[in-house]
């Protein structure tokens, strides 16, 4: 029996084409994308941010939930990827694709949604939390589920995941996106 695939938002298609053309293999999976869409839709007048645009797949998912009064700003340090991804969103003035280090995002903070996917997540997690508006949502991809507490990765306590899950300014939890992968999602306490 042939199983039909669940449709993806239209703009994900050209972003995936850019990934394929550029040989970029780190785009988010649709299970994460649907969470991104939900998060953006939860903040219809919000500032939505992404660090690490890649080819724009995650951006396209965020964009699919973007409210008419919302803004989406994303940053990518790879010049070629940033340029190609920007072309996918060139017709929508709500979207800005910045080229450079993730800290360029700070001038647009505080964020109502922050998909921190390249830059910041590992190198300056406290600064990441500080970019959130009260009630703002933080989404961190690419964890490996752990049945231990504190969570472990490759036999060691995963200090980074623990930092986010126990941060005093966050209400955070870990959610499975597939049996073998998870995201940490949190909201900044008011
Ligand atoms: C996991 S990929 C992003 C995937 C994309 N968010 C998606 O969902 O399709 C991480 C990206 O972050 C970029 N990156 C890594 N460190 C960065 C930094 N300090 N500032 C800006 N971009 C960075 C990398 O070049 C890479 O394209």
Torsion of CA 52, 56, 58, 62, to 10 degrees: 110
Residue 139 has pLDDT above 80, yes or no: yes
Please compute, for residue 3, the number of CA atoms within 13 A of its CA located in the half-sphere on the CB side. Answer: 2
**Helix boundaries (H) for 3-104:** 12-22, 30-41, 57-64, 79-88
Question: In ligand 1, which atom is closest to the CA atom of 50?
Answer: 6
| Average of per-residue pLDDT across 28-45 | 98
Establish whether residue 117 lines the binding site of ligand 1, counting it when its CB lies within 6 angstroms of any ligand atom: yes
With H, G, I as helix, E, B as strand and everything else as coil, classify residue 172.
Answer: strand
- The domain spans of the chain are 30-188
Residue 14 has pLDDT above 90, yes or no: yes
Which of 14, 53, 57 gets mutated to test ligand 1 (max ligand atoms within 8 A of its CB)? 53
Establish whether residue 16 lines the binding site of ligand 1, counting it when its CB lies within 6 angstroms of any ligand atom: no
| Average of per-residue pLDDT across 8-35 | 98
Distance CA 9, CA 168 (A): 36
Query: For 67-113, what is each residue's pLDDT tens digit?
Result: 999 999 999 999 999 999 999 999 999 999 999 999 999 999 999 99
**Largest separation between any pair of C-alpha atoms in the chain:** 51
Q: Residue 119 C-alpha to ligand 1 middle, in angstroms?
A: 7
With H, G, I as helix, E, B as strand and everything else as coil, classify residue 120.
Answer: coil
Topology given in CATH for the domain delimited by 30-188: Rossmann fold (3.40.50)
Q: Note whether 47 and 110 are within 8 A (CB).
A: yes
Mean pLDDT of the residues in the chain:
97
Establish whether residue 76 lines the binding site of ligand 1, counting it when its CB lies within 6 angstroms of any ligand atom: yes
Establish whether residue 30 lines the binding site of ligand 1, counting it when its CB lies within 6 angstroms of any ligand atom: no
**Which pLDDT does position 5 carry in this prediction?**
82
**Which pLDDT does position 40 carry in this prediction?**
98
Query: For 117-134, what is each residue's pLDDT tens digit?
Result: 999 999 999 999 999 999
**Closest of 129, 128, 122 to residue 143, by C-alpha:** 122
Residue 1 has pLDDT above 90, yes or no: no
């Amino acid at each position: 029996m042939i199983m039909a695939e669940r449709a993806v938002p239209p703009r994900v298609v050209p972003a995936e084409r850019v990934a394929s053309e550029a040989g970029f293999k780190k785009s988010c999976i649709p299970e994460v994308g649907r969470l991104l869409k939900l998060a953006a839709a939860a903040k219809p007048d919000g500032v939505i941010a992404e660090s690490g645009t890649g080819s724009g797949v995650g951006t396209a998912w965020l964009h699919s939930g973007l409210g008419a009064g919302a803004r989406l700003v994303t940053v990518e340090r790879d010049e070629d990827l940033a340029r190609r991804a920007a072309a996918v969103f060139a017709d929508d003035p709500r979207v800005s694709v910045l080229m450079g280090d993730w800290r360029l995002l700070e001038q647009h903070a505080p964020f109502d949604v922050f998909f921190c996917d390249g830059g910041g997540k590992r190198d300056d997690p406290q600064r990441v939390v500080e970019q959130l508006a009260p009630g703002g949502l933080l989404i961190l991809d690419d964890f490996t589920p752990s049945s231990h507490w504190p969570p472990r990765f490759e036999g060691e306590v995963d200090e980074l995941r623990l930092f986010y899950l126990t941060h005093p300014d966050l209400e955070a939890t870990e959610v499975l996106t597939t049996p073998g992968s998870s995201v940490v999602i949190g909201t900044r306490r008011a």
